[in-house]
Amino acid sequence: MILRLIKKSNLGQSERSYAHAVMEYIATPEVALLNESGHKKGIVEKCSHYAVHGCTPGLDLRHQAKEFGMIAESADCRAQHVLRHYVLSWPSGEHPTPTQAEDAAKIFLNGLGYNTASAMWMVGLHVNTEHYHIHIFANRQNPDTSVLVNEGNGWWVKEGQRLISKIEYQQGWKTDPRAMYKWNPHTHVAEKTRKARNKFDYVTAIPRGVELRTGKMSEERLIKQATKRILQELAAMPESQRTWAQAHRVFAAYGLEYIKNEKGCVISLDSIRHYPTSKVADEISLSSLEHLIGSTFRKPRKREQAELEQIRSERRKLIASQPHPLPPTLMSAKHRAAYMAEYGLARGKWRLQEQRLRHFELTARARRAQQTTRLVNQQ
């Protein structure tokens, strides 16, 4: 099984509007089947079952969504992402029943810290793709206790993978051979079967495709390799010599710049493209570096800026003049097949996002047409 979190695309959207859009998308029973040119060629069943829990009995979907949004808006103003939208996808050939879909959603939410008996949540089983999947829409704000759920104590990804292994065992589904956890029926604990991939060891899909086509290292891989060596150098220094001035100098020696802005911390190789530290490696985050250096972040002083820029420019010229061939092992058929599998998953995610946006657009267009008709009738 595959777990994915669908993030809120429009951060300025109100909680009521967001809840209405997501719940309407989950509950839509049919969807248009489009050909390669984008024209409709038929209608297929999408949602074979959905259920909403925790709302006032007797309400229709529109008013249930309104209640979802009202409870979410009553949460602490400092809380972020109060409404959560998850997708659990089964492998091809496995077809869960509505009862199994609801049981899987209950196991998942209870494991993350929700109380499904009192929490507000919704589940919908979609069958319009080769991989049957369920959408789980949950409200972290409990309507009875007003307690905000801290999903998995802040580690919802790891806890979610453990819960997937539990669902697979209890319902008898196939286990992914690459799964990180496997459920032990004797100890009733999800045991770790492999380590997570280190972010230093791989790059994302698009740069990987460029590497396979050109045989040269991408900028993302160059930054990750340089960052790994920078961390090794900083860790090898005596604690008394670890300062932010020295850290900025080490970054500059590799042609990199560590920048802190209003959105977070980024790393740049050419002062144009910025890579968030969360995508480079967890060890290079601001909190990790502050712990390693032993002091809070400090920008380079003005008198240091010119010297650092000169060091960076010389290093960048050297990097641009030298070839950086990709190791033969990363050009093998095994790595190419792994990239194609990752690219296929990304394509499926993009298609699902496009389908959701198309649905929202058609819904908004129909709503505007109804309002226009109502105004014409009133006149």
Q: What is residue 23's three-state secondary structure?
A: helix
Which H or E run includes 49? strand 47-53
Give the integer Cα–Cα distance in Å for 376 and 374.
5
User: What's the pLDDT at 36?
Assistant: 59
Give the integer Cα–Cα distance in Å for 306 and 117.
62
Percent residues over pLDDT 70 in the chain: 97
Ranking 101-110, 299-308, 349-358 by mean pLDDT, the lowest is: 349-358
Helix H segments across the chain? 15-27, 61-73, 98-112, 156-171, 205-214, 219-236, 244-253, 277-280, 286-293, 302-321, 333-378
User: What's the pLDDT at 77?
Assistant: 75
CATH classification of 2-192 is 1.10.3720, yes or no? Answer: no
pLDDT band at 96 (very low <50, low <70, confident <90, very high): very high
Structural domain boundaries of the chain? 2-192, 200-321, 332-378
pLDDT band at 102 (very low <50, low <70, confident <90, very high): very high
User: What's the pLDDT at 32?
Assistant: 67
**Tell me: the pLDDT tens digits for 204-225?**
878 888 888 888 888 999 999 9
Tokens of 199: 């972010």
Ranking 123-127, 237-241, 354-358 by mean pLDDT, the lowest is: 354-358
pTM for the full predicted model = 0.62
* Higher-confidence position of 250 and 34: 250
User: What's the pLDDT at 124?
Assistant: 94
Give the integer Cα–Cα distance in Å for 222 and 269.
9
Percent residues over pLDDT 90 in the chain: 34
Averaged pLDDT, 318-341: 81
Residue 262: phi, psi to the nearest 5? -70, -20
User: What's the pLDDT at 256?
Assistant: 92
Residue 40 confidence (pLDDT) above 80 = no
Spatial neighbors of 78 by CB under 8 A, at least 6 apart, are none
Rounded to the nearest 10 degrees, the angle between the axes of helix 205-214 and helix 333-378 is 130
Averaged pLDDT, 221-248: 92
Whole-number mean pLDDT of the chain? Answer: 86
